[in-house]
Structure 1
Amino acid sequence: MAREACNEEFQNLAKAYEQDVTESLKKYEVLKDLDLFVLDNSIRESTVGQLRGHTIENKWKVYDEVKKCGFKHTIVASFNHSTRVDDVFIKQLADRGEDRAGLWAFSEITEAIKKKVPDTESIPVGLRKMKEAGLYNVIFEIDLGDSTYDFDRFTTKEMCALLKKWVDWVFENLSTEAKVFVSFRDLPDAMPTDSERVFEVTDFLCKLPLFGLMFEEPRGQSLPEECGTWAKHIRKVMDANNFNGHLLVHVHEKFGYCDVVALQVLMDGANGIWASVIKEGAAMGNAPSIVTILNLIRMGNKRVLKKFNCTYLRKAAINMTRITTGVDPHIKQPVYGARALDFVFDLNPEEFDFADFFEVQAPIRITTLSSAEMVQTKLVNYFGENEDFTIERANLMKEVMLEDLRANRKEEYMSKCGLAVLFDRSGGKLTDEIRDEIANDPMKTPHGQNLLKEIRERWDEWDLKDKVQGDNLLDYDSFYNGFMAPYFACYRCNDTKKALQALDMDIDNSVDWSEFCVFLKWAMKQYPKTIHTADDLLEVAFRKGLIPCMRDEMLVKK
């Protein structure tokens, strides 16, 4: 009876859990059918706060990547009194005949603020420069908190009148085809104490011929539910006015919430985002559109697949990051970082497989958690078919990985040289194919290139003593005298001869530069922080790479 009562208790708990989780996940259903509007901000956002800003060439490259993604609306400029790169870029856009219907620029609503009261007469510089450039889609940025304006001296009604004045000016002076967004720039400051002011201004704006409203979380400090509630109640005001314009959100990073905030706001009332494709941006960056869009696809959204070139997004994000920062995205960046596609535990694709979606081959990550099949597949992918690339050999390689950790030896086995040396240390034989594959894999760091060049110069000096010069080979005695002597006491000793034979992959009584390079590149890859000179590189290559491999080879031959 006690057992039956216990089972009944767990069955009831399971039913309650199923009901609870079903109810909790219902809110995500809206993302499945959302017709997402994207106002791309890659040209502007990705350069904010960068140590190296965007050149005109950079802007063109980013702009072209945005177009390849299929985004039809792009923020291209934010003007001020200085002549910025944006000013020149806009002129070039016009000269190239780009369609201005999808090009947007920011503008303030006042030329100056004195004693927390705005100048309501002078035309803001952003509008003046847009007219000169022939742009006509405007994003007016406004502040509704008390930190910018004194609303006792400049009332909410006066704010509304000023907004109407400049909206009318846009249609009269820029284009009757103009589209206008109004962006609430400081909702985190305004909503806690002055939400009624926000709703009053929203109500007024819904009566104007706007394309939509926008807001941002500029500091990344507000919680998802908080931002979602802003969207929910702003949307209520919009619906009460039968206003069918867009409601967009832009979120900055600070405490790891940005992507969640963007999704929460979309679930609670917004229908679009203004964001860069990539995370790079002001402070710690913004919620990138690529992550938001991929989450919608993961939820089953088909609309974004039809509207945008979603399979290109990852490539675009990688390219934009390189353009902006000069380096690849952080390897752990969701969706477009190097590890985002990895197989980690086995070779079975996930339910939503990034690699399959982006039509790229998923990298296989080699760690102690990798299966033997993963190690075997990685060997074949790198070096082609080899009768020694067996499951048994792969298991031996996994054992060596564990031995390394127990010996406090922390190394990686993902790179070609890392995997090759692991294979060698596990009793495998480095073949000509493996050697040549690694020889053709360039050293990536300038420091490593310089050290490799210095060691090559030493090699060439000893090559002059050989009977045949310039053949990339050193006789055993030249290699011993030039490189091995500090580590092997006697050239004529039996162990030294066996060690040389172990290094001689093609058994031609000489050491090939490419054979030696396998271990030099491996050492530089594994221990970059401890290698400062060419002698350091040789020390690590011999002590941690060549000598252990030679010992393994000698044990096998015994």
Structure 2
Amino acid sequence: MSLTQALENAHAILAAADAKVEKLRNIEPYLIDLSLRENPVGSNIGQTLQDKLSILPKLREFGFKNISLGTLDYAMPDELEVDDDFMMHLRDHHVDMTGCFAFTALGIEAKDGTFTPDPSQLKLASYGVPNTVHEIYLSEIGMQGLYDLETLRRSLPASVRWLHEHMRGDNGAPPRILINIVDGCDAFSQNLEATCSILSLLAELPIEGITIEDDRGTYLPFQVGAYIAVIRQFLPPPFKVLVHIHAGAGFENASVIEALLNGADGIWAGLPKRAAIIGHASIGELIANLARVGNPHVQSYRLDQLLPLATGFQQLDDMGPVANDLPILGHNAYRLTLTSFRQLEDRFMDLVPETIGGKYSYRVCPVVSDLPVIAGRLAEITGKPAKHFHDDVTRQMVRLIRRDLRGGLRFDYDEPEQLLKLYERAKGFFPHPGSSASEAHLATQTQRSS
């Protein structure tokens, strides 16, 4: 292949990638925040009624228009949860629930036409929640013990009809109903024909759209994208298509991007990373990644509050710190270990921490940290400006770190006590740091040490 042909191919390949970025840049994401339910599900502590009452206005202030108040289709419905208390409190105190959702389960229609609403549906109507994510299962394992396909096909229209008859939507409008296929990825991979037949049925019902989950987080991103593309064959716009992806195998955010590129409108998730298993593709991460590509629609949210709000919610749920090495939202996400890792505001695909309410700090790693990082970390520890720590001293600190490691000595130099000890050792090489005499002294000491 000639260089000319190879370059033409390269331009074509990158043009296809640019087109995907452009699609992400222009999408107006449909988001349902689940910080009041998804995050405490995976928490060691959970949320009380007072916690929820303090969280809801913060979600509103951040900019969320769609908020899930909780889940009503849990096991042992006779034993109420905090979610029930929360929704009853909002109802009894006449709190505006516009844009609010609750999760419910399918009611069942018998062969004789008798319909029995699920307890969660009865609660939904009683609590006055205007919208719902209505959950079904479609894989063989998921349906086992609940219903067969014939019962599901018969019950779906009846259940949706019951919701319309017994719910009052936002400002008196019809309720917004999203059908969530809890085992959606399993259903597509194991039961395609039946799944498509249900999609065809859903296309005839008065619903807002559907959502699917990768509830164990085990499907590859391109598989999730393919399932969304199939859904769009049956449910074109204006039907909404959402996903909810858990972090079982570490694909979660890539799977969301693939879903968006293949026709999904958005996600439902919590703002922090915490979720039912070991995390999920959170709304906080998606908003940050859309901001990264220059999506203007996420500017409607309080981006400068994203990081403190998300981490604050997770700290509340766990009564402990957020994992340090969590991408985007973790403590170390914007602690520089090497100056060249700094993201820049005017560089494509970078997202500076100030955009989401954070700021850069410093973390000393013995193998790689350079002079500005060491000076920056010393400034954090001492409160003195970074320029106070002269290059000749910080350079000598790097030299001493290398000598320590070569000598079999291992220290956590990021710890304040260890870094200050190292600083004092390095200062001992220089009578007057910053002077030309100190550089000459350094050269002498280096020759002696070698």
TM over 0.5: yes
Contact 1:44 1:77 in 2 (8 A): yes
Structure 2 unaligned regions, length at least 5: 430-450
Aligned to 2:100: 103
Which runs of structure 2 are paired with 1:123-202 in the superposition (5 Å)?
Answer: 123-149=117-143, 154-156=148-150, 158-175=151-168, 177=173, 178-202=175-199
The count of corresponding residues between Structure 1 and Structure 2 is 414
Distance across 1 between alignment mates of 2:280 and 2:114 = 32
Counterpart secondary structure, 1:248? strand
Cα distance in 2 for partners of 1:125, 1:200 equals: 27
In 1, the alpha carbon distance for the partners of 2:79 and 2:323 equals 33
Q: Is the 8 A contact 2:225 2:261 kept in 1?
A: yes
| Aligned partners of 1:182 and 1:214 also within 8 Å | yes
- 1:55 matches 2:52: no
Map residues 1-16 of structure 1 onto 2, 5 A cutoff.
13=6, 15-16=8-9
Alpha-carbon distance between aligned partners in 2 of 1:252 and 1:383, rounded to the nearest angstrom: 41
| Aligned with residue 34 of structure 1, among 27, 30, 42 | 27
Among 288, 298, 301, which residue is 2:282 paired with? Answer: 288
1:317 maps to 2:310: yes
What's the offset of the Cα at 1:404?
Answer: 2.4
In the alignment, the residues of structure 1 paired with residue 416 and residue 25 of structure 2 have an alpha-carbon distance, to the nearest angstrom, of 42
In structure 1, the partner of 2:378 is 379
| 1:110–1:118 CA contact under 8 A, matched in 2 | no
Q: Does 1:266 align with 2:254?
A: no
**Paired residues for 1:541-552 under 5 Å:** none
**Over alpha carbons, which structure has the higher Rg?**
1
Aligned to 1:230: 227
Provide the C-alpha distance between the structure 1 equivalents of 2:243 and 2:99, rounded to a whole number of angstroms. Answer: 18
Q: Distance in 1 between matches of 2:103 and 2:66?
A: 13
Is the 2:292–2:351 Cα contact (8 Å) retained in structure 1?
Answer: no
Q: TM-score, normalised by structure 1?
A: 0.68
Q: Is the 8 A contact 1:248 1:272 kept in 2?
A: yes
Q: What does residue 296 of structure 2 align with?
A: 302
2:436 match:
none
Quote the residue 1:400 is aligned against: 400
2:91 alignment partner in structure 1: 94
- Alpha-carbon distance between aligned partners in 2 of 1:147 and 1:66, rounded to the nearest angstrom: 36
Whether the aligned pair in 2 keeps the contact of 1:69 and 1:309 (CA below 8 Å) is yes
Deviation at 1:212?
1.8
Cα offset, 1:304, TM superposition: 1.4
Residues 118 and 149 in structure 1, CA contact (< 8 A), matched pair in contact too: no
Contact 2:42 2:274 in 1 (8 A): no
Once the two structures are TM-superposed, the CA of residue 231 in structure 1 deviates from its matched residue by: 0.7
Contact 1:232/1:268 (8 A) holds in 2: yes
Question: Which amino acid counterpart does residue 165 of structure 1 have in structure 2?
Answer: A
Q: Give the match's secondary structure for 2:268.
A: strand
SS in 2 for 1:100: coil
- For structure 1, which runs of at least 5 residues remain unmatched after alignment? 1-7, 430-558
Q: 1:379 to 1:99 in 2, by over 3 A?
A: same
Q: Return the TM-score normalized by structure 2.
A: 0.84
CA RMSD of aligned residues (A): 2.9
Provide Cα deviations, 1:319-339, integer angstroms capped at 9, x if missing partner: 011011112211111111111
CA distance in 2, matches of 1:51, 1:355: 28
Pairwise mapping of residues 457-536 of structure 1 onto structure 2 (< 5 A)? none
Deviation for aligned residue 1:32: 0.9
TM-superposed deviation, 1:38: 0.5
Q: CA separation in 2, counterparts of 1:254 and 1:146?
A: 21
2:365 is matched with which residue? 367
The residue number in structure 2 matching 1:419 is 419
Distance (whole Å) between structure 1 residues aligned to residue 293 and residue 119 of structure 2? 43
1:66 aligned residue (59, 66, 73) = 59
1:138-159 CA-to-partner distances (Å, cap 9, x unmatched) read: 21101122224479x9444x53
Q: Which of the pair has the greater relative contact order for Cα pairs under 8 Å at 6+ separation?
A: 2
Shift of residue 279, structure 1, vs aligned partner: 1.8
Could you tell me which residue of structure 2 aligns to residue 543 of structure 1? none
Query: Which letter does structure 1 place at the counterpart of 2:402?
Result: L
Give the C-alpha shift of residue 40 in structure 1.
0.8
Could you tell me whether the CA contact under 8 Å between 1:62 and 1:323 is conserved in 2?
no
Q: Which secondary structure does the structure 2 equivalent of 1:46 belong to?
A: helix
| 1:222 Cα offset (Å) | 1.0
**1:110–1:120 Cα contact (<8 Å) kept:** no
Secondary structure, counterpart of 2:361 in structure 1: coil
Amino acid at match of 2:360: A
Inter-CA distance 38–120: structure 2 relative to 1 (3 Å threshold): farther
| Aligned-partner residue type, residue 73 of structure 1 | N
Find the counterpart in structure 2 of residue 354 from structure 1. Answer: 352
1:279 is matched with 273
Tell me how far 1:9 sits from its aligned partner: 5.7
What secondary structure does 1:338 align onto? coil
How far the C-alpha of 1:163 sits from its partner, in A, is: 1.7
2-side partners of 1:63 and 1:302: how far apart?
25
Letter in 2 for 1:203: S
SS of 2:392 mapped into structure 1: helix
CA distance in 2, matches of 1:149, 1:208: 21
Q: In the aligned structure 2, how far is the partner of 1:227 from the partner of 1:55?
A: 35
* Displacement of 1:398: 1.3
Q: Is the 8 A contact 1:332 1:339 kept in 2?
A: yes
- 2:199–2:234 Cα contact (<8 Å) kept: yes
CA gap of 1:386–1:338, structure 2 versus 1, over 3 A, is closer
- C-alpha change, 1:411 and 1:14, in structure 2 (3 Å) is farther
Q: 1:181 to 1:428 in 2, by over 3 A?
A: farther
Q: Identity of paired residues, percent?
A: 23
CA distance in 2, matches of 1:58, 1:205: 37
